[in-house]
Structure 1
Amino acid sequence: MATAQLNGISLYYEEHGEGEPLLLVAGLSSDSQSWLPVIEPLAAHYRLILPDNRMAGRTEPKTVETGIGVMADDVVALMDELGVDKAHIVGHSMGGAVSLDLAARYPERVEKLVILCSGPIRTARNISLVDTLVRQREEGVSDDTWFRSFFYWLFSPGFFEDEAAVGSAVEMAKTYPWRQPVEAMRKQQQAIAAYQAGDVITRIKAPTLGVAGGNDLMIPPEDMRAVLSGVVDFRFEVIDNAAHSIHWEAPEAVVEHVLSFLGK
């Protein structure tokens, strides 16, 4: 657990394990702790580096500007700070867009790339969805109602069959000590809405694995495959019975795909 002073921010990050460096880039409103289900099995094989993106977790301040490209620059600056010339990169959701941008603009820094439930997909529905989720918080919707609404987009139908488990998950989310302030979530939402991927996909040279959740409502597998298929060296896997929070619903399968692809 440490912080690095870079690009005008104090960026919090964690390291676990030893070996080749493997960077994990979190999604919207998430931070390094969002990777908890996969940290231990991946750290058995790699030196994991888990940053809190600007606007999230313990990275400060939360008043600076941000963008997908800016967050990619932060990851590269952290690599420089840690003396990491090249690394494997895994990105989830918004973190996948950050990772794709990084791989396109800094190809010499990426060994292999894994994208989970993501892609440079700017659909009007998803832009409206995330804007609405932020607006609900801005307008004072109760935390309980808000998280239950958000979870609908993150988890498979089976998750909601156990009300006690849902209630426990809501309580954990409500009491998380580094929960993202709504103002910071708005800045990340604006970064997603403003991002123009351009020719990012065709510029990626690193071998790339896309892993989709069969139940993902936000980034359906067929949309993800279609957008990422332009990567020169691309393969694709679908984990059935998992939705957008794929590394929480199917951590063992995610780890298996990642390790197999990276060569472990």
Structure 2
Amino acid sequence: MSYANVNGIELYYETHGAGRPLVLLHGGLGSGEMFAPILPTLAADRQVVLPDLQGHGRTADIERPLDVRVMGDDIAALIDHLGLDRPDVVGYSLGGAVAMQVAFHHPDRVGRLVAASAGIRRDAAYPDILEQQGQVNAGAAEFMKATPMYELYQRVAPRPEDFPRLLDKIGEALAQDFDFTDQVRSLTVPTMIVAGDADMCPPSHFVEAFQLLDGGLRDGGWQGEGRPTGGHALAILPGLTHYNLAISPLFAAVTRDFLEAK
């Protein structure tokens, strides 16, 4: 458990296990702790680095917006700070979006990428989800006091009173339009797109992202000769939603399988 002064922020991180490094990025309003159910599987033969992203967990917020592009720079700087040699980067939800930014802008820092439950266009989310996201602001803090997210924040945050401020920043970030189609199409890092079969975006959206990576366009062939040329993959996980994917043994299993692929 330590802090790294990188890219203008004191970034909290933990390191678990030993072996080839893997940077594991949590979802919004969470922290690295959210991966506790699957961490033993991932750290069985890997060195897993668990950062807490800006304003989350044990990383205090600073005077800048929550921007996945800048947060991606934080993680690239952490990789350099720790002297990691092209670690694999795995992220879920907000962490998946940040993981993609690391691969978009710092491909030389990344071995393989797993982006889970992270849509690549804002308008891909279901309309009711976009409506709910529009209600995320400081005013919702009182209603969230009975939630695990609030309990976690109060327990570990350096400034527990910042919770309403975090909700405001998340709400502002969620309101911003985005479309990373071109960046996904240009990915050079072997990438696996992961989603639950009942995620915040329909499965067709994640298939679309896979198609941008040369996937799902033809038969794979007996020897895999028709698979995507960049070594990319897609996993739509049965029986999972946006809210339980990150703790699923199935997510851990497909992640390990992809990261160990030759």
Q: TM-score, normalised by structure 2?
A: 0.81
Structure 1 counterpart of 2:187 = 204
Give % identity. Answer: 29
Q: Secondary structure at 1:182's aligned position in 2?
A: helix
2-structure distance, mates of 1:186, 1:134 = 4
- Tell me: CA distance 1:198–1:254, structure 2 relative to 1, closer, same or farther (3 Å): closer
- Alpha-carbon distance, 1:16 to partner: 0.4
1-structure distance, mates of 2:52, 2:144 = 26
- Tell me: CA distance 1:69–1:202, structure 2 relative to 1, closer, same or farther (3 Å): same
> Are 1:25 and 1:99, in contact at CA under 8 Å, matched by a contact in 2?
yes
Choose from 217, 221, 246 the match for 2:203.
221
> Are 2:139 and 2:164, in contact at CA under 8 Å, matched by a contact in 1?
no
2-structure distance, mates of 1:142, 1:191 = 19
Structure 2 counterpart of 1:102 = 102
> Are 1:68 and 1:192, in contact at CA under 8 Å, matched by a contact in 2?
no
Question: Does 2:156 correspond to 1:178?
Answer: yes
Considering Cα pairs closer than 8 Å and 6+ residues apart, tell me whether 1 or 2 has the greater RCO: 1
Structure 2 counterpart of 1:231 = 213
2-structure distance, mates of 1:55, 1:190 = 14
Give deviations 1:53-100, integer Å, cap 9, x for gaps: 101111123443331100000000100110013111111112111111
Q: Which runs of 5+ in 2 are unaligned?
A: 215-229
Structure 1 counterpart of 2:170 = 188
2-structure distance, mates of 1:134, 1:202 = 33
Which letter does structure 1 place at the counterpart of 2:189? A
Q: TM-score, normalised by structure 1?
A: 0.81
2-structure distance, mates of 1:58, 1:142 = 19
- Tell me: CA distance 1:193–1:84, structure 2 relative to 1, closer, same or farther (3 Å): farther
- Alpha-carbon distance, 1:183 to partner: 1.1
Structure showing the higher helix proportion among its residues? 1
Structure 2 counterpart of 1:30 = 30
2-structure distance, mates of 1:114, 1:13 = 19
- Tell me: CA distance 1:94–1:142, structure 2 relative to 1, closer, same or farther (3 Å): closer
- Alpha-carbon distance, 1:182 to partner: 2.3
Q: Secondary structure at 2:134's aligned position in 1?
A: helix
> Are 1:21 and 1:47, in contact at CA under 8 Å, matched by a contact in 2?
yes
- How many residue pairs align between the two structures? 235
Alignment RMSD (CA, Å): 2.2
Question: Does 2:92 correspond to 1:92?
Answer: yes
